[in-house]
Amino acid sequence: MRRHSDYGHRMEMENRRIRQAGALALLLATPGVAQSESAASTTEDIVVLGRSLPLPPGTPAYGAVVIGRDRLTSSPSGRIEGVLADVAGFQQFRRSDSRSANPSAQGATLRALGGNASSRTLVLLDGVPVADPFFGYIPFSALVPDRLSLVRITRGGGSGAFGAGAVAGTIELASAGRDELPAVAASAFYGSRSASEIAATVSPDLGAGYATLSGRWDRGDGFDTTPRAQRTPFTARAAYESWSANLRGVAPVSGDAEIQARATLFHDDRTLRFRGADSVSEGQDASLRLIARGAWKVDALAYLQARNFANVVISAATGRRTLDQRNTPSIGLGGKLEVRPPVGEAHVLRIGGDVRRASGTLYEDAYNATTGAATARRKAGGAQTTAGLFIEDDWTLGRLVLTGGARADRWTITDGTFQTAGATGPATLTRYPNRSGWEATGRAGALFRVTDAIALRAAAYTGFRLPTPNELYRPFVVFPITTAANALLDPERLRGVEAGADVTLGGIRLGATLFDNRLRDAIANVTTGPNMRQRRNVNAIVARGVELTAAASLGEVSLDASYAYSHARVKAPGQAFDGLRPSQTPAHSASATLGWARAAGPAVSMTVRYVSRQYEDDLQVDALRPALTVDGVASVPLFRSLRLVGRVENLFDETVVTRNAGGSIDLGTPRTLWIGLRLTG
């Protein structure tokens, strides 16, 4: 059950599979055509619909890791964040997943650059940024693994042609194409604590193109996230219910161009810690993409996102609501244009630009925890825009590939407001001045294939991320700690270098990367007094370390492993936390999966993950102890297209502490068993 490998090998196999699928499609569509040498020679020009443009040859210089479709469709949790955890160094703000975490805290980061509820990693789905426009969190419950072809994770790497925001790396999600999707697929699972999960996909051919309609619904009574000693009469399990629907259509418009359209709807309800402490997140996303593969290659993309979030905070002492974040509408819209002119076989030149505008407004009401009376009404929001131009070139010189590029981005932060009103009396409105600036970033890399088995690589890069409207304007409380917003936050700026090597010996692939990343003006929750914090820019977070990957395929047995060590420290001269490890950041993380699979027969895999000790806060007072978990998946065929599947999460019921704020503790997923059927007809 092969999951991920060194990037160059995966890219070669992916391109080979696409050519083979294209050749088969041609033969099936043309009756009477023999499999002759001349017919086979045309397969190099055949393209499977629904893909993006080919990857530039210098891409492996940035040390990307790819997770394949076989792993995406057979993970123990069935959730994308569980799959991403296979890559050591991937972390969320909390250790909990999209069943029991507050959605607004589900930021993603890489390379130990510090936990943040807003994502420091740029997450793209078919080229579209998926982060919430107001909060910056990732809607993981809407990213269903079964719908994807692969996940490409670049740790570090700067922004390059991806766009602004990739200070901790880039996670690219690619939708599955028609060659990977059966006409009909479905699955149904039942799990511990009355959990249910149902998904279905239909992918009919429509003329020369195709469409894919998929849906997923899941729910569960949840588990007690609160330790027994801290439970009150108002404590509740982390119940959840979510659904999402996705429609994707692909149609050729000429011999070398196609249109890709996608629309996604999702809705997610969760209960967090206490009865009535309910959160709701929802979205309606749409995108339209033109891909042209002629002499002048073109990737043109436009997208729109409409999101909303609501959340109720409940008092542990009285069971009454203390805060009702009743409405947070936000809009994200943007686009990208990339052109690759024909400049000769040795060069792949990329020229283009992209723009993204994010805006949103939070409406919330505060209440007296004893009487239930309203005490304040607040409104906060603003908008921000980034617009950039980029140029990048990959130059192949025999066994050496050189790659480099530069970006220039204009950013604006506008319309920032914070309004508050008491139960009586007039409202107080604060308007923040508009701000703008320019950011110049770039990246460069080299890939040298010493032999067919050994490749050396090195890269240097810069990048930046704007603070989100949530970080700028919205204060929040996680009892007993109040965190104030800061409308004067500066953008975060990254500088990094790395070097690595990849070795392929038969069915064994090994990779190693040394990195040194510095995140200047890092946004952190800084302690300002007892139970008081504020979002502030700190001088820098410096993370140095090593990342190791290994993959082996020996007949029916496979092994995949990943390890990351990060020596991360906060640089804040004069501050109490100067020289300490960033909050929410482990020094060690590791993942290993051992699998056995027989062709068209039974399959089984076990995954072991380890995360070392980390701290909730900047002063290293509230510790999150290490966690070692074991997950597994097993399946046996019942009929030609039907499988019986069993899954287990946290097999040995490890106690995973996900939050420790002043001694108030939350726990992660306990042992969870699943049994179900999967149809891949």
3-class state of residue 469 by DSSP: helix
Determine the pLDDT at residue 159: 65
Helices (H) and strands (E) in the chain, counts: 5, 39
Dihedral sign for Cα atoms in the order 73, 75, 79, 82 = negative
Distance separating alpha carbons of residues 172 and 186, to the nearest angstrom: 25
Q: Are strands 374-397 and 347-367 parallel, antiparallel or unpaired?
A: antiparallel
Residue of 112, 26, 21, 262 lying closest to 589 (CA atoms): 112
Name the E strands within 555-671.
557-571, 588-597, 603-611, 614-615, 623-624, 627-637, 642-649, 657-661, 664-667
Q: Give residue 47's pLDDT band: very low, low, confident or very high (50, 70, 90).
A: low
Q: Which of 151-165, 271-285, 539-553, 641-655 has the lowest mean pLDDT?
A: 151-165
Determine the pLDDT at residue 114: 82
Q: Do residues 158 and 494 make contact, with C-beta atoms less than 8 angstroms apart?
A: yes
* Residue 645 CA from chain centroid, whole number: 26
Determine the pLDDT at residue 29: 31
Average pLDDT over residues 453-470: 95
Q: Do residues 109 and 123 make contact, with C-beta atoms less than 8 angstroms apart?
A: no
Determine the pLDDT at residue 243: 98
CA distances from 564 to 193, 207, 499, 606 (A): 34, 48, 15, 20
Determine the pLDDT at residue 46: 57
Determine the pLDDT at residue 611: 96
229-265 confidence digits (pLDDT tens) = 999 999 999 999 999 999 999 999 988 999 999 999 9
Determine the pLDDT at residue 43: 35
Distance separating alpha carbons of residues 375 and 320, to the nearest angstrom: 13
Q: Determine the residue type at 637.
A: P
Hey, what's the torsion of the CAs at 471, 472, 478, 480, to 10 degrees? 130
Q: Give residue 528's pLDDT band: very low, low, confident or very high (50, 70, 90).
A: confident
Q: Do residues 100 and 656 make contact, with C-beta atoms less than 8 angstroms apart?
A: no
Q: Do residues 95 and 583 make contact, with C-beta atoms less than 8 angstroms apart?
A: no
**pLDDT reading at 286 higher than 60:** yes
Specify the residue for token string 């050396």. 456
Burial class (CB in 10 A: 0-12, 13-18, 19+), 639: exposed
3-class state of residue 592 by DSSP: strand
* Residue 642 CA from chain centroid, whole number: 30
Specify the higher pLDDT residue, 136 or 15: 136
3-class state of residue 12 by DSSP: helix
Distance separating alpha carbons of residues 92 and 117, to the nearest angstrom: 8
Determine the pLDDT at residue 541: 95
616-635 confidence digits (pLDDT tens) = 888 999 999 999 999 999 99
Q: Are strands 297-314 and 278-293 parallel, antiparallel or unpaired?
A: antiparallel
Determine the pLDDT at residue 162: 73
Distance separating alpha carbons of residues 393 and 406, to the nearest angstrom: 10
Write out the H or E segment, with its range, that includes residue 81.
helix 80-84
Q: Give residue 559's pLDDT band: very low, low, confident or very high (50, 70, 90).
A: very high
Specify the higher pLDDT residue, 414 or 46: 414
What number of residues does the chain have?
Answer: 681
The domain segmentation of the chain, as residue ranges, is: 4-383+399-679
CA distances from 257 to 291, 294, 306, 355 (A): 6, 8, 29, 23
**pLDDT reading at 158 higher than 80:** no
Average pLDDT over residues 4-20: 43
Distance separating alpha carbons of residues 186 and 678, to the nearest angstrom: 6
Q: What is the DSSP letter of 437?
A: E
Average pLDDT over residues 331-336: 96
Rg (CA), the chain: 25
Whether the bond between 480 and the residue before it is cis, its omega within 30 degrees of 0, is yes
Sequence-ordered list of residues with C-beta below 8 angstroms from that of 412, at least 6 positions apart, any chain: 384, 385, 434, 435, 436
Q: Are strands 122-125 and 108-109 parallel, antiparallel or unpaired?
A: unpaired
Q: Give residue 184's pLDDT band: very low, low, confident or very high (50, 70, 90).
A: very high
Average pLDDT over residues 552-563: 95
Distance separating alpha carbons of residues 510 and 488, to the nearest angstrom: 45
Determine the pLDDT at residue 20: 38
Q: Are strands 400-422 and 428-431 parallel, antiparallel or unpaired?
A: antiparallel
Sequence-ordered list of residues with C-beta below 8 angstroms from that of 450, at least 6 positions apart, any chain: 399, 456
Bridge partners, 482 (sequence order): 477, 532
Determine the pLDDT at residue 355: 96
Distance separating alpha carbons of residues 321 and 455, to the nearest angstrom: 58
Specify the higher pLDDT residue, 303 or 107: 303
Distance separating alpha carbons of residues 427 and 429, to the nearest angstrom: 6
Q: Give residue 570's pLDDT band: very low, low, confident or very high (50, 70, 90).
A: very high
Distance separating alpha carbons of residues 595 and 76, to the nearest angstrom: 13
Q: Which of 85-99, 115-129, 156-170, 632-646 has the lowest mean pLDDT?
A: 156-170
Q: Determine the residue type at 41.
A: S
Determine the pLDDT at residue 6: 44
Tokens representing residue 656 in the block = 């995973």
Question: At CB < 8 A and 24+ separation, what contacts does 199-203 make?
Answer: 199/144, 199/146, 201/146, 201/147, 203/178
Sequence-ordered list of residues with C-beta below 8 angstroms from that of 177, at least 6 positions apart, any chain: 48, 49, 50, 51, 149, 250
Determine the pLDDT at residue 410: 97
Bridge partners, 436 (sequence order): 412
Average pLDDT over residues 498-511: 95
CA distances from 45 to 11, 39, 48, 52, 293 (A): 17, 11, 10, 15, 10
Specify the higher pLDDT residue, 547 or 316: 547
**pLDDT reading at 11 higher than 70:** no
Bridge partners, 624 (sequence order): 614
**pLDDT reading at 5 higher than 70:** no
Average pLDDT over residues 398-420: 96
Is 4-383+399-679 in CATH node 2.40.170.20? Answer: yes
Sheet with 128-129, side-by-side order of all strands: 4-6, 65-67, 148-154, 170-175, 122-125, 128-129
Q: Give residue 640's pLDDT band: very low, low, confident or very high (50, 70, 90).
A: confident
**pLDDT reading at 41 higher than 50:** no
First to last CA, the chain: 20
User: Considering the chain, what is the average pLDDT of its residues?
Assistant: 90
Average pLDDT over residues 349-361: 96
298-328 confidence digits (pLDDT tens) = 999 999 999 999 999 999 889 999 999 999 9
